[in-house]
């Protein structure tokens, strides 16, 4: 199986590569449009800032490549946010696969960004086959995706929000499956089996 992890100006790409290796799966990190288009599965991870990352994707034509993908795609963290319509981080229009907006957490009594383990619930996708409701996964985020028709998992930090989304061949998680222990590994296995 040919798996491509999209290379762009974002952190955490290698963590996903190592998580796949722990599952016995080889993947390639690439920003080559042809390699990305010809992959059987594509993973779009990231930790970074939305507006500068969108500029980077557009400069290299990767925005159009991602939107044209027909194979299963998994967006993780920033990857999820960039697949939404608009982000308050840098006030930027994103890829628009999902109609939701990405909003900034606002609180005077909670730590922002949130960094730690939250439970996920209302699980509604093959991505969560074999995963129990209220399983704990690892989040690092100062922004969140609002609820919508494409929400396939929820969580709560300051307020309830989308922990995962799905539309057609696009699957996303706000949390980091590659840092979420056995639960995260099972989610990655489920994605690879789709």
- For the annotated catalytic residues, the residue numbers are 77, 176, 178
From CA 155, how far away is CA 175, in angstroms rounded? 10
From CA 183, how far away is CA 188, in angstroms rounded? 9
Determine the 3-state secondary structure of 162 from DSSP.
Answer: strand
Neighbours of 132 (CB within 10 A): 11
Answer yes or no: are the C-beta atoms of 62 and 95 closer than 8 Å.
Answer: no
Structure tokens at 70: 């027909």
């Amino acid at each position: 199986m040919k798996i491509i992890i999209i290379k762009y100006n974002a952190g955490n790409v290698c963590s996903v590569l190592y998580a796949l290796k722990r599952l016995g799966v080889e993947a390639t990190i690439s920003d080559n449009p042809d390699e990305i288009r010809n992959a059987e599965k594509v993973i779009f991870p990231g930790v970074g800032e939305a507006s500068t990352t969108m500029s980077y994707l557009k400069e290299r034509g990767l925005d159009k490549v991602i939107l044209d993908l027909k194979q299963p795609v998994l967006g993780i963290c920033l990857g999820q946010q960039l697949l939404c319509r608009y982000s308050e981080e840098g006030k930027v229009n994103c890829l628009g696969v999902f109609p939701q907006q990405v909003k900034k957490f606002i609180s005077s009594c909670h730590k922002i960004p949130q960094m730690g383990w939250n439970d996920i619930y209302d699980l509604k996708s093959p991505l969560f086959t074999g995963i129990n409701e209220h399983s704990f996964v690892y989040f690092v985020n100062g922004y969140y995706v609002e609820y919508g028709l494409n929400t396939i998992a929820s969580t709560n930090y300051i307020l309830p929000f989308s922990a995962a989304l799905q539309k057609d061949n696009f699957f996303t998680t706000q949390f980091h499956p590659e840092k979420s222990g056995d639960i995260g590994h099972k989610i990655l296995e489920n994605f690879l089996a789709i």
